[in-house]
Amino acid sequence: MRPGLALLLTTLLTTAQPLRADEPPKDLRGRLAEKLTAEGQAALKVSPKPGGKAAKPAKAEAAQGAHRPHWGYAGDGSPERWGELAPENRSCAIGTRQSPIDIRDTIKVDLERIQFDYKPSSFSVLDNGHTIQVNVEPGNSLQVMGRRFELLQFHFHKPSEERINGRSFDMVAHLVHKDAEGKLAVVAVLLERGKDQAQIQQVWNHLPLEKHQAQAAPVTLDLNQLLPTERGYYTFMGSLTTPPCSEGVLWLVMRQPVGIGAAQLAIFSKLYPMNARPIQPAGGRLIKESW
């Protein structure tokens, strides 16, 4: 024990009034605490071990995490750095089946039709800091290749992330689905400048005023009206186009684009002028196209 601390405790014990039988121990502790001087309190502090390193302050650790760039589409968090930003994003850098791709060199085959089972549904709109996302109530699904996928949400990218034979489109809507095993299927609806799109306008009408705060809409959305009339499509295996860039995603890219009004494009552009990941290597993967 340090000499100063020993002397302090001895003084406290010798000068303290005798403990009465009916005095609770907590009262004695209170009396002793009142006699502690600033010097005594300093003496009670634990010193670091000789030769040891002082612990890093919690604030310093928090600040270090706070300064780590967040993923985005420009600057320190741009797509070419996604794989470095967090361990779970490693696939963004080393994956071999990444999305999006330039769809070319397809093989035309007799693909089964995608069976869409969409119905007018309640929805909420969220600005998640990367895009506008629409969360849809359960009950919308599709069936393809003998599997049923439930719609979770859809969101937008500008310009389109996918290209077809080198051609890019004004925007794209990604409809994200999941099956009972947790596997994902994404339907991509290409959007090009044309007539106003009624369902997209419903989404824009209910944009939240603040980021990260979903706004429930008092109307319903019918996603059948967002799909093209001609249901031909391309399909291939790929990944999420945003971190963590997980692979094993079934992609269903609708071949016919859908129109979107100039004013509707301008609204999204004001929020997100560019939020598309660059084209990734196809890597010789098989791309099928329906007749």
Active-site residue flag, 130: yes
In the chain, the amino acid numbered 77 is G
CA–CA separation, 156 and 273 (whole Å): 12
Query: b/e per residue, 171-210, with b = 16+ CB within 10 A?
Result: bbbbbbbebeeeebbbbbbbbbeeeebebbebbbebeeee
What are the DSSP calls for 75-86, one per residue? GGGSGGGHHHH-
> 130, 155, 157, 206: which one is catalytic?
130
28: nearest Cα among 50, 44, 40, 12: 12
Given a contact cutoff of 8 angstroms between Cβ atoms, the answer to whether 212 and 262 are in contact is no
Phi-psi domain of 141 (left: phi exceeds 0; alpha: psi -120 through 50; beta: other): beta
What is the distance between the alpha carbons of residues 169 and 174, in angstroms, rounded to a whole number? 13
Catalytic residues: 130
